Amino acid sequence: MSLQYAKWCTSKLLCCTYCPLYLYLTGLPQDPKESSANVGATYTRWGKKTCPNATGATLVYEGYVGGSHFQIRGGASNYVCLTRDPIYERYKSGRGYNSRIYGAEYESFKYGIYPDSVHNHDVPCAVCHVTKRTSQIMIPGRNVCPTGWTREYKGYLMAERYDYYRTTYTCMDGNPDNSSETHANKDGALFHFVEGICSGSLPCTPYINGQELTCAVCTL
């Protein structure tokens, strides 16, 4: 490789589709087969402690679902999968005027969708990784994936209750686990089923007024 070509190759990423010198300098895999084998997608499996074996997913970590308190207007609107072994650096003991995160509970009693045994239990989560598939989507309202996509899991669309503070829509696994550590019913962040309402712009049919919506997480 000439120096002139090497200079162009390292400074202009569009000079070639496979540039050995650029890959060497950046530490990226030099074998296209190796590169293809290592790419992948990650997703959170809400409500489960494990990743689905059938799809070849591997567990990155398992933890607890966290979010903002259902009665407090500040903080974040999204749920997160908190690790079981947090690492702290600088901190000030005691509560301050900061954002706050709480554990999460299922609010699913008497719907006949989940077992009553999970109601008010804390919600676990698992972060999963799949190889050779690079795209990931959550489809609300359907429990099957488009042709050619792999269904990682299916379940029910959940979020905060309609008259509490807003949260993001989340696809909760259809066969949920619960965290074995606590069943204290202390609330915090909550998960309620999502139902379609036909009094506005939502087309009914195909949607059915007041019926709980399914969901699926898919990869390609």
pLDDT (tens digit per residue) in 33-86: 555 567 899 999 999 999 999 999 999 999 999 999 999 999 999 999 999 999
Indicate the number of domains in the chain.
1
pLDDT digits 0-9 by tens, 106-156:
999 889 999 988 999 999 999 999 999 999 999 999 999 999 999 999 999
Query: Is residue 119 included in any domain, yes or no?
Result: yes
Asked if residue 142 belongs to a domain, the reply is: no
User: In the beta sheet, which residues pair with residue 58?
Assistant: 129
> If we measure between CA atoms, which residue out of 119, 102, 97 comes closest to residue 110?
119
Separation between Cα atoms, residue 140 and residue 136, nearest integer Å: 13
Threshold 0.85, pTM exceeds: no
Main-chain phi, psi angles of 213, to 5 degrees: -95, 145
Q: Is 200 a member of any domain? A: no
Residues of the domain holding 52: 40-84+100-134+160-194
Q: Is residue 11 part of a domain?
A: no
- Whether residue 79 contacts residue 104, with contact meaning beta carbons closer than 8 Å, is answered with yes
